[in-house]
Each structure stands twice: as structure tokens, then as C-alpha cells.
Amino acid sequence: MAARDYYEVLGVNRSANADEIRRAHRKLALQYHPDRNKDKAAPARFAEIQQAYEVLSDDDRRRKYDEFIRLGGTTEAFAAGASAGGAGSGAAGADPFAGFRQGRPGAEWTSSDSATFESIFGDIFGGSGGGGRRSRAGAGQRARARERMELEVAVPLETLIRGGKYAVSVNNERLELEIPTGTEDDELLSIPGRLDVLVRVRADKHAWLTRDGRDLSYDLPLSIVEATLGATIDAPLPTGGSVTLKIPAGTASGKKMRIAGKGMPAANGKPAGDLYVAVQIVPPKDPNDLTKSLLKEIGGAIENPRARIAHLRP
């Protein structure tokens, strides 16, 4: 099967910017990674995605790929030139552009076309005029790509929520991983310039937030008075700031209040999650004599909460 156009593989326009290409790659790599997708076609699809990204994420290689296609070459011929180690690596007397002409059967390139191709493949894959060093470098890059490793790192939940940079160590080398806003738990990310490494991010344990998919939750302590009479409380939001909650009178401990769209931010075409605040009634700690006296008086005036439950009646 002929290789598909790299832009088509990633599902982006030819005018897509670097950020759009990165996001498209991240989404597809997560979807088709063989560890997550057990379909028989997933490994081949994943390799196709990685190959497309390896070219389009590099400004120089992307420019030369675009020029090669503009002149009538095919993606299959471009990839074949890469795997062959360079345009000048064939036997003596062989046409270095024979493979590229396959994209246009019977076509005859002008001398200017050939010069353009020579420039493209001399720079990318190595060729005449000192191209041997580049060819060896390209072979090393391809070897690293074939030996692609996957790391797993625990990232602070706040970073997955808000986005930002996170340092990771790869073979004792410190690299910066870009965490997009609203990154999923267990998502695969790539490091710019290191296509031989994929990083699976997992949410580290948080001091007060709990995550369930795209929803977030935490406990909100209330006093007996606030739960009984009702109150207005400022509750913090995971993305910063706070929201005013009106606590109805008679609120029971464990009641969850939903704040729509204030969980994980929208990402990868998925809507924002919700935030759930669970009320927890906290009794007074070390009450003084006056507080104890008042509570006893109140206790004698209110209904026993077990009185209406048959198996708990005294």
C-alpha cells in the first residue's frame, strides 16, 4: 500500500502550525499506541503516525518534504529515500532520483528539478559533496527511532490541570516536557526534538483533590451550625480562584454539590469535567464548658435522627 501524505496521516491542513501538528500527533499517538489499542492494525498505524510527525515536526525536513511533493514526488518515494540512507548511496551510474520518478510515471525532470532534488536529499539523507557524515547521522536518528522508549512519570495534578513544563530525565539528560492544559491521566506525550522517547504521564497524589476521569472532587468541612442553619461559603476551584456556594439549611454530611464545567479543562475535543464538593460536618474540637452546656440544651430540643429508622429506634 502506498504511503499516505503525512498531513493526511495526522489529519491537519498543510498550513497547520507547529502547535496544531503537535496536538494532532499527541491525540493520535494516544489512540493508536499498541499498549492501549489491541487492534491488529494499531502498530502499523502508530508507526505511520510517528513517521509523519518525525518529518512535520522538524521545520527543515517539513520544508523539504513540501518542496518534494510540490515537484511531483510521493510520500512513499520520500520515505524510501530516507530509509535508503541518501540520494547518492546507490551503485555507480545509477539514477539517484529513479525512485522519486516512480511518483510520476514517465515524467522527465529538468536539470533544475534534479538540482532541487539533489539539494533536498543531499541535506536530509546525505549525498555527494560531504554527505556521508549526514548519512551516518541520519542512520543514527533512524536507529534511535526504531529503539523508541516509553517512560512513565508522576506529574503533579495541578500541572495536568493548568498545563506547564515538567522536567524529566532521559539517560541522565534533563529534558523539559510540555504538559498541555487538561492533559489526561495515562496520556502519552512526546518531547520536542526527541522522537525516540514517549512519556506516559500519571497524576501524582494530591493533597486535597481526587480525580475521576475528567471530574474532580474534594471535601468541604462545615460546622454543625452552618449545616443546620445554612451558610454561604467560598469554595476554591482547582484552576484558581473560588466559587460561592449556598449551603441549604439542614444539609447532611456527605452531600455532594456539583459545579458544572469546573473540573479538568476541555482538551482533545472532550468537554470540561465537573467539580464535586462533598460536605463533611465537623464537630467542635475541644469545646469549652459553655459550648458543652449549649449543645446539651440543643440536643434535648431536637429530634433524634435515628427515631424514624425502624432498625435504629431506641
Ordered per-residue pLDDT tens for the chain, 314 residues: 568 899 999 999 998 998 889 899 989 988 888 888 888 888 889 989 999 999 999 888 898 888 888 877 888 888 876 555 443 333 333 333 444 444 343 333 333 344 444 444 444 444 444 443 444 444 444 444 445 688 899 999 999 999 999 999 888 888 889 999 999 888 888 887 777 788 999 999 999 999 998 999 999 999 999 999 999 999 999 988 999 999 999 999 999 999 999 999 998 788 999 999 999 999 988 889 998 898 888 888 888 888 878 888 76
> What is the predicted pLDDT for the residue at 122?
47
Domain boundaries, the chain: 6-146, 149-203, 210-301
Rounded distance between C-alpha atoms, residue 141 and residue 278, angstroms:
52
Residue 236 CB: number of other CB atoms within 10 A? Answer: 15
Query: Is the full-model pTM beyond 0.75?
Result: no
- Provide φ and ψ at 217, rounded to 5°: -150, 160
Alpha-carbon distance of 160 to 55, in angstroms, equals 28
Burial grade of 313 (CB within 10 A; 0-12, 13-18, 19 or more): exposed
Q: Quick one: CATH architecture of 6-146?
A: Orthogonal Bundle (1.10)
Decide if domain 210-301 falls under CATH 2.60.260.20: yes
CATH topology of domain 149-203: HSP40/DNAj peptide-binding domain (2.60.260)
Same fold, 149-203 and 210-301: yes
Q: Are the CB atoms for 211 and 185 separated by under 8 Å?
A: yes
Cα→Cα distances 287→14, 184, 281, 296, Å = 70, 45, 16, 12
84: CB partners within 8 A, 6+ apart: 90, 99, 125
Question: How far apart (Å, rounded) are the C-alpha atoms in residues 211 and 275?
Answer: 9
Question: DSSP assignment of 207-262, as one string?
Answer: SS-EEETTEEEEEEEE-HHHHHH-EEEEEE-TTSSEEEEEE-TTPPTT-EEEETT-
- Per-residue confidence (pLDDT) for residue 70, from 0 to 100: 83
Q: Which three cell numbers stand for residue 43?
A: 502498530
Q: What is the DSSP letter of 37?
A: -
Cα–Cα nearest to 153, from 182, 183, 181: 183
d(CA 65, CA 44): 21
Cβ pair 276, 217 in contact under 8 A: yes
From 206, 226, 222, select the one nearest 278 (Cα to Cα): 222
